[in-house]
Amino acid sequence: MALRRPFSLAVDPAEELPLYLQLARGIADAIRAGRLRAGDALPGSRTMARSLGVNRNTVLSAYEELAAEGWVVGRRASGTFVAEDLPSPLRSRRAQAATAATVGFALASPIEHDTFPRHPPGVFVLTRGTPDPRLLPTIELARAYRRVLQKDGRRLLVYGDHRGHPGLRLGLAEMLSSARGLTVTADDLLVTRGSQNALDLIARALVTPGDVVAVEALGHPVVRAAFRLAGARLRSVPVDPHGACVGDLERLAGNHRIRAFVVTPHHQFPTTAVMPAARRMQLLHVAAQHRIAVIEDDYDHEFHYEGRPVLPLASADSAGVVIYVGTLSKVLAPGLRLGYVAAPRPFVDRIASIRAVTDIQGDLVMEAAVAELFASGELVRHVGRMRRIYRSRRDALVAAVRRELGNTVQVEAPPGGTAVWARVGSDGEPIDIDGWARRGEQHRVIFRSARAYAFDGAEVNHLRLGFTLHDEDELATAVRRMAAALPAR
């Protein structure tokens, strides 16, 4: 229970902040608000301690803290006083506003980036392909984390390997070798904080400002931004129903020295297209011929629902041109910030040395906990469960779109991934997708035009609708809301 005392001071033992800091904050607030003025005497430490019901040392520590911050001065034998040279409350408020609102130095150009706003419960979000938080294996993860911290905390909570926890690298290497056809060991891998961190490290290792990097004409803006941040000049490669058009990359390489090509061959982002084998071979050939680093962003590999899984480009790379990037953001949770890079070893060493001076290392305790989930088979079981659930959600979303929006939106079930790619507009009749999305927000459903992914910012008459975040009933409701938000005809 809080205790009320002179000038409304309150300290509460149940609060997390230590008592002496609570007291110091209370007195500083009283000075700021003008309830205590310059030169005012504070009560003696014994009196203050008695009136608050705290130990005298607590009061002495609070006064010391205030003196160190310049709020009060102690005068030998006469007591503690509010400092004389405090700015007036009004002046200090103005000064605060000035420092908060303006910057007195030059900034580099801003970069585009996505935001992840929180929406109130009951609002359905179709812009994301992230896991449903209700399905996360939090109990298993918590158990593993606790076990690891108790057993190995003293070894893990120190500076460690820039490349990440050896157990997790081993688990990842085994998974990549057995399920994805890569011939890698733990030493060919670096664990990152999500694929975004991987892309940043790769960009720093490859790009000298002014270098040309090719990206897909439709792609994730945050991925492009990582390369812009490193000073790359970006050029776009068109995307068709078979993924990135490798012929166009080859033509581009005829005119520019292309340092790297960032590509999503497995489920093209955002169109979900799977790149066929012949085009994959062509891409590896063009990359080897022009010495282009192929950055394979394989962000949702586990979620393939039809037929045999398609192996990554990296599994067929004999020329050492592919830098393979994976993530646990879709498999487990994006907030874990766990991803990885598999690449020729000298390149892994290079990005490890960049990490040494940017981030030093990742969260080794969490990495070790996830390594346990790999080793116990829990992660594989979780992925299997999620695959069944997401497949059913995909079918529910496709059915709902056909039922509710059949005249306006055409959609095919994608063979894999976390979202559908839906064409908007029928009989050549254009639809203002931005206006529709704005009305959708009022109906408590969030979607947006695929223009958000376009390199040139031009309108794209498609939507990418994510199906992983919500269950079948919620998806049906979300699509009904989309239909309600359509313009009247």
Does residue 120 have a cis peptide bond before it, meaning omega lies within 30 degrees of 0? no
Q: Which tokens go with 77?
A: 């034998």
> Measured over all CA atoms, what is the biggest interatomic distance in the chain, rounded to whole angstroms?
91
Spatial CB neighbours of 333, under 8 Å, sequence gap ≥ 6: 131, 133, 136
Closest CA to 170 of 374, 377, 356: 374
Per CB under 6 A, the list member of 58, 195, 271, 408 interacting with ligand PLP is: 195
Closest CA to 298 of 256, 334, 327, 321: 327
Q: Which is nearer to ligand PLP, 80 or 329 (CB)?
A: 329
Q: Which stretch binds ligand PLP (CB under 6 A): 56-64, 193-201, 315-323, 363-371?
A: 193-201
* 196 contacts ligand PLP (rule: CB under 6 A): yes
Q: Which is nearer to ligand PLP, 220 or 394 (CB)?
A: 220
Q: DSSP label at 432? A: -
* 58 contacts ligand PLP (rule: CB under 6 A): no
CA 288, distance to chain mean position in Å, is 32
- Whole-number minimum distance, CB 379 to ligand PLP, in Å? 16
- Whole-number minimum distance, CB 327 to ligand PLP, in Å? 3
Q: Which stretch binds ligand PLP (CB under 6 A): 191-199, 310-318, 396-404, 479-487?
A: 191-199
- Whole-number minimum distance, CB 466 to ligand PLP, in Å? 10
Q: Which stretch binds ligand PLP (CB under 6 A): 153-161, 189-197, 436-444, 460-468?
A: 189-197
Calculate ∠ Cα 101-107-109, nearest 5°.
115
* 298 contacts ligand PLP (rule: CB under 6 A): no
Q: Which is nearer to ligand PLP, 162 or 337 (CB)?
A: 337
Q: Report residue 445: phi and psi, to 5°.
A: -140, 135
Q: DSSP label at 163? A: T
Instruction: Tell me the number of residues near ligand PLP by CB under 6 A.
Output: 13
Any long-range contacts for 334-338 (C-beta under 8 Å, 24+ apart)?
334/130, 334/131, 334/194, 336/366, 336/370, 337/193, 337/194, 337/197, 337/362, 337/363, 338/168, 338/191, 338/192, 338/193, 338/194, 338/362, 338/366, 338/367, 338/370
Region 18-47 residues binding ligand PLP, contact defined as CB under 6 A: none
Q: Which is nearer to ligand PLP, 10 or 222 (CB)?
A: 222
* 220 contacts ligand PLP (rule: CB under 6 A): yes
Crossing angle of the two packed helices 194-206 and 345-358, in degrees rounded to 10: 100
Spatial CB neighbours of 403, under 8 Å, sequence gap ≥ 6: 479
Per CB under 6 A, the list member of 269, 374, 436, 447 interacting with ligand PLP is: 269
- Whole-number minimum distance, CB 420 to ligand PLP, in Å? 15
C-alpha distances in Å from residue 170, one per residue of 163, 176, 302, 325: 12, 10, 18, 16
* 171 contacts ligand PLP (rule: CB under 6 A): no
Tell me the Cα Rg of the chain: 29
* 227 contacts ligand PLP (rule: CB under 6 A): no
- Whole-number minimum distance, CB 198 to ligand PLP, in Å? 8
Per CB under 6 A, the list member of 61, 329, 408, 468 interacting with ligand PLP is: 329
Q: Which tokens go with 61?
A: 């520590």
- Whole-number minimum distance, CB 265 to ligand PLP, in Å? 12
Region 79-118 residues binding ligand PLP, contact defined as CB under 6 A: none
Per CB under 6 A, the list member of 65, 188, 211, 297 interacting with ligand PLP is: 297
Spatial CB neighbours of 279, under 8 Å, sequence gap ≥ 6: 242, 243, 246
Per CB under 6 A, the list member of 131, 194, 243, 414 interacting with ligand PLP is: 194
Calculate ∠ Cα 487-399-219, nearest 5°.
75
Draw the binding track, 299-318, toward ligand PLP (x: CB under 6 A; -: no contact). x-------------------
Residue with nearest beta carbon to ligand PLP = 194
Closest CA to 30 of 91, 93, 84, 89: 89
* 334 contacts ligand PLP (rule: CB under 6 A): yes
For the chain, helix (H) and strand (E) counts, in that order, are: 15, 16
DSSP E strands in 390-475: the ranges are 409-411, 419-424, 445-446, 462-466
Q: Which stretch binds ligand PLP (CB under 6 A): 48-56, 190-198, 233-241, 304-312?
A: 190-198
Q: Which stretch binds ligand PLP (CB under 6 A): 67-75, 177-185, 326-334, 460-468?
A: 326-334
Region 336-375 residues binding ligand PLP, contact defined as CB under 6 A: 339
* 275 contacts ligand PLP (rule: CB under 6 A): no
Under the rule (CB under 6 A), what is the footprint of ligand PLP? 194-196, 220, 223, 264, 269, 297, 299, 327, 329, 334, 339
